[in-house]
Amino acid sequence: MSEESVTVLTSKIAEERLHAIVAKRPLFPFFSTTVSILGSRMVHYPYWCVSLEATATQKLKKNQTLKLLVTVDAVTGDVGYAKSLPEGSQVPEGSVPDRIKVRVTRNEAWKKAEDFALDLFMRKIFFLKEVSNQIKETNLIYYPYWIVDIQRGGETSRRSVDAIHGEVNNKVVHHLEEEE
Tens of pLDDT along 67-91?
889 999 999 999 998 888 888 888 8
Q: How far apart are CA 68 and CA 11, in angstroms?
A: 26
Tens of pLDDT along 12-48?
988 878 877 776 655 555 555 677 788 899 999 999 9
| Ranges of each domain in the chain | 5-179
Q: Which of 60, 50, 58 is nearest to 122 (CA)?
A: 58
What Cα–Cα distance (Å) separates residue 11 from each residue in 8, 69, 71, 157, 173? 9, 22, 19, 23, 17
**Half-sphere CA count of 32, side-chain side, radius 13 A:** 0
Tens of pLDDT along 93-121?
778 888 899 999 999 999 999 888 888 77
